[in-house]
Amino acid sequence: MPSAKKKEICLWVVQSHDGKVRKVRLSLRALVAGFCAAVIIGSTFLYIASDYARIQVLRAKSYLHLRLVSAERDDLVSSKEQLESQVEVLQSANSKAAHYEKQVKDRLAELASVIGATKALNSLENPVADSRKAPGKGLHNLEGDSMDDGIGGAEIDCSGDTRSEACAALFSDTSFVDFSPGLELRKTKDSKRARIEPSLLSLVKPRAEVANDRLDLIEVLDRYIDLLKIVPLGLPAPGHINSGFGYRYSPFRRGITMHEGVDFSLSHGSLITSTGDGLVRRVARNSTYGLVVDVAHSERILTRYAHLSKALVTDGEKICRGEVLGLAGSTGRSTGPHLHYEVIIDGKAINPIQFIDLTDQLAKTLL
């Protein structure tokens, strides 16, 4: 039996340089083995190439992620700096607010202290109630004056004269209404006598400056503190009022007169004190007031203390509320020892009781 022929593949290879032909015999087994080896090598190469590509992709992704993280970090650093800057601004604002609050509290405490000190000076005896016992609508003094107590002071004759400004309200229900600039007038519910409520800031400086003023709270409080130190609050003496502000039968002439102050009944030599900080404008004598001391509290506010037996201050002297100005007496036109006290705003006499009442109102508000 003849042997089987070997399966072979014959390749003819022509060399380019010399043209010789070579015959190459490849068995099928060798060819299959070579093909398998090529497949294995190719697969290995493809695996290595794909793995390398995957690694490169991962590296690229990592790089991009790193760039993104770096950008986010930079944003966070920038945000941190902005937040720190905002925190500093807020801390500064909080510090300013705390300082501002402390300033406000300090000024409110100082306001309360000023009112409290005035209230203490006013606590010995309140003569206002005595002055309100007398009847009448603006003529409360016509039957209320006692000739046993000293009275006096400047008077405007209102007999038959209803045209002058001081006497125009003699027969009206509004005989105590005052039309001084910078004062707000209101009627009380329990009395027909009008009540004056000072517009305080308008009294601390010229009226022309008030209209255009825009002040912050601290400056307003400072001005109120300065103002409350100079506004004539409280009592100049502890005696009772025996002749109030307004119309009365004159103790010196026949007929009705306008009394431009209040008379405090006092014993001879009683201490007379200033009702506000100010400057002594005048210490003088005249036939009407006798020995009189005028105290200027501002360009617009003046108080007058008349019929003194002795003055303890001099012209131009700076004084404080509660400081002794002189001693009570009966000099000038007077029926006995007393103090004639006036409050003058813009050259016009105002009822001093209004300012005594204002002390109590402010004390209720601030204390």
Average pLDDT over every residue of 112-125 = 70
Average pLDDT over every residue of 46-62 = 91
Q: Which of 7-21, 78-92, 106-120 has the highest mean pLDDT?
A: 78-92
- Predicted pLDDT at 129: 43
- Predicted pLDDT at 303: 94
Report the C-alpha gap between 221 and 110 in whole angstroms. 10
**Burial annotation 137-171 (CB, 10 A radius, 16+ → b, else e):** bbbbbeebbeeebbbbbbbbbbeeeeeeebbebbe
Average pLDDT over every residue of 279-303 = 92
- Predicted pLDDT at 159: 58
At residue 73, does pLDDT exceed 80? yes
Average pLDDT over every residue of 40-50 = 91
Rounded (10°) CA dihedral 101, 105, 110, 112: 150
At residue 139, does pLDDT exceed 80? no
pLDDT in tens, 305-314: 999 999 999 9
Average pLDDT over every residue of 252-270 = 83
At residue 92, does pLDDT exceed 60? yes
Residue 4 pLDDT class (50, 70, 90 cuts): very low
What mean pLDDT is reported for the chain? 75
Tell me the domains of the chain and their CATH numbers. 122-366 (2.70.70.10)
